Structure 1
């Protein structure tokens, strides 16, 4: 079946950000949109590796204390167990793909719940 934002399962996350499930299974592929000035909560996935690929706009990804600026046609892999969060500090919306393997359902630990080493 052909999949697009128009027929994909939609959800809202964070402060007015959108996600569309393009694929759910052993891995998930999600198309996400972040309005200007939004960010997500810092968190960790214990099992899932993730790859973020920017389609439009500019984002800043914080990954284990390091900051990475990403623009269109650029991506970044997040290894399992790596604290991370994404920010859209620009004046334009950003859209990107998030590919997670395995899927992240039940595998998201917010920063506040992380145990210190």
Structure 2
């Protein structure tokens, strides 16, 4: 067992210039660090089984849950229960970096789900 960092972690690219690093890819738990440039967003979706926690490391991000926008600053996080439609966005002018903790891992458990705007 050894300490892990982005230099040692499996890297992948997604969306429009976004990066991800698999810090832990277990059968029951996933920890990913992601970076989103300004003006980028992931596609709205939900997970049937996966519970997630998003935690902002640097910058700020908007995590929309079922039509309600949550503005998260550095050091803030938000839980996304299974079945809840969500979308992470970077509406700022700086990069946003955050952790995504999922149990069980969310890969293979992603369902495209438009988010109803203005829902409470």
TM-score bucket (shorter structure): over 0.9
Q: Structure 1: how far apart are the matches of 2:113 and 2:51?
A: 17
Q: Structure 1: how far apart are the matches of 2:92 and 2:107?
A: 29
Alignment gaps of 5+ in structure 2:
115-120
Task: Give the TM-score normalised by structure 2.
Answer: 0.91
The aligned counterpart of 1:101 is 103
The aligned counterpart of 2:12 is 11
The aligned counterpart of 2:46 is 44
Total equivalences in the alignment: 112
Q: Structure 2: how far apart are the matches of 1:102 and 1:34?
A: 23
Q: Which runs of 4+ in 1 moved over 4 A?
A: none
Task: Give the TM-score normalised by structure 1.
Answer: 0.93
SS of the counterpart of 1:39? Answer: coil
Give the 5 Å matches for 1:66-105.
66-105=68-107
Q: CA deviation digits over 1:54-106, x for unaligned, max 9?
A: 00001111101111000000000000000000110100000000000000121
The aligned counterpart of 1:21 is 22
Q: Structure 2: how far apart are the matches of 1:105 and 1:38?
A: 21
